Amino acid sequence: MASPPSDFALYCCELLSSAGPCVAKRMFGGFGLSTDGLTIAIIADLGSGEKLWLKTNEDHRAQWETAGCERFTYASTKDGKSVARGMNYYSAPEEAMDSAHAMAPWARLALEAALAAKKPAKARKPRAKR
């Protein structure tokens, strides 16, 4: 049986409630936070404690950087060399962690990025009859 979400994950779901009903599920040692089946945030500890990371894309990246948010990066090994890999997630602004009202514009951006990332299913070509 999966362990229940942490208190921090539940709090983050409350913060993101303006984007829709939030569900926290265990994922890679942290949590994935989703609404309507779309992952809008993750919770991960990159060495300084659990942190909320919100989904973004190229259209909104500058807003996150202007707010002083940190890009989610992790180290991987390629050809024996350590390489920093960035993902389309940024840390939540500190002031947004105080209330759902303060988080609302950031939650909206994360939801927009998740919707944009959702690719429409490719239509299958009918098989030729033999």
Percent share of the chain, pLDDT over 90? 56
Contact assessment for residue 22 and residue 29, using Cβ atoms and an 8 Å cutoff = no
Confidence band for 1, pLDDT divided at 50, 70 and 90: low
Q: What is the pLDDT of residues 40-97, one digit of tens each?
A: 999 998 888 899 999 999 999 999 999 999 988 877 666 666 555 668 899 999 999 9
Confidence band for 119, pLDDT divided at 50, 70 and 90: low
DSSP state of 21: -
Contact assessment for residue 64 and residue 49, using Cβ atoms and an 8 Å cutoff = no
* H helix count then E strand count, the chain: 3, 6
Q: Which residue has the tokens 């947004």?
A: 96
Query: What integer best gives the mean pLDDT of the chain?
Result: 85
Per CATH, the architecture of 7-117 is what?
Answer: 2-Layer Sandwich (3.30)
